[in-house]
Amino acid sequence: MPTRTLGRHGPTVSALGLGCMGMSHGYDPPKDRGAMLALLRHAVDLGVTFFDTAEMYGPFTNEELVGEGLAPVRDRVVIATKFGFRLGADGLRPDGVDSRPAHIRAVCEASLRRLRTDRIDLFYQHRVDPSVPIEEVAGTVGELIAEGKVGCFGLSEAGVATIRRAHAVTPVAALQSEYSIWWREPEREVLPLLEELEIGLVPYSPLGRGFLTGQMDTTAEFARSDFRSKLPRFSLANRQANQVVVDLLARVAASHGATPAQVALAWLLARRPWIVPIPGTTKPHRLEENLGALALDLSPRDIAELDAASAAIEVAGARYSEELGRLTGL
């Protein structure tokens, strides 16, 4: 398994990680716990060493799953989790952000228990809290690093000014942000800053929440409990309009005997040597397919074609609805 280092201050991990959210949160129907534990262990057997979770995935159940699944191999893996949301009155979904220092510490202690560990390897601020200066957030995580409870500090979906201010207080090891061939916004300002400051990038949804795999029928319907049912980009009309992105990936894939998912991941890996995508899956054969991207060597011509063609495509639909944007700080 090839490895990559997340910037100057981050850990060395497998070149592809595993996003664990969908194992217990966000997508319908709920997944069998025993099967998901087996999938986590299968990932380790295949060489994956980087696992991503968060307290809000569930809430809480995903950290518990990851903690149980990785406890026997804890010394062989890097676990990332997140703080920064507050729960609503129902205790089931976020109702805004909260990065007050006391809250960060409380989340850290609870996450350590659920993850069955004495150290969180990478602790992200899940979303920026505009009511708390980022210097206070960075300082608090810096204290947790000094206490040995956290390995390194990360941000998620933060802008360039926030990243600079945080990094000046406590070095930022990695930024987690949505980034894929159908969401290239980070290339404008974020990637150049990360290169300058030597911060790693961890793209989430590198396969467009499943759309870029080419396995999603454009007429598919999502259950109300499926996160994608609330995303404008996944309306029927927008999926039909965006099929052109999948067709582009499929054309390149056909010339390599690969799949659209493998091309999408290989394209990301070719962007920078400090990018570590974290595609999620709940199926062993999809995990194996994703890891196959590591053996796919796209030529400069392939990459140039993908770059030019994808840049010319106007993707239909916003990433988040107005309500979800309010709740998640986007």
Do 271 and 277 touch, CB atoms closer than 8 A?
no
Do 77 and 70 touch, CB atoms closer than 8 A?
yes
Task: Give 214's contacts (C-beta < 8 A, 6+ positions apart).
Answer: 246, 249, 250, 259, 260, 261
Token reading at 212: 């870029």
Q: 85 phi and psi, to 5 degrees?
A: -110, 160
Task: Using the CB atoms, write b or e for 150-167: b if 16+ within 10 Å.
Answer: bbbbbbbbbeeebbeebb
Task: Please tell me the number of Cα atoms within 13 Å of 202 on its side-chain side.
Answer: 37
Task: Please tell me the number of Cα atoms within 13 Å of 36 on its side-chain side.
Answer: 23
57 catalytic per annotation: yes
* Torsion angle, alpha carbons of 287, 289, 294, 295, to 10: 150
**Catalytic hit among 57, 124, 179, 204:** 57
Token reading at 123: 């602790």
Token reading at 276: 């570590």
Token reading at 56: 């809000």
Residues labelled as active-site residues: 57
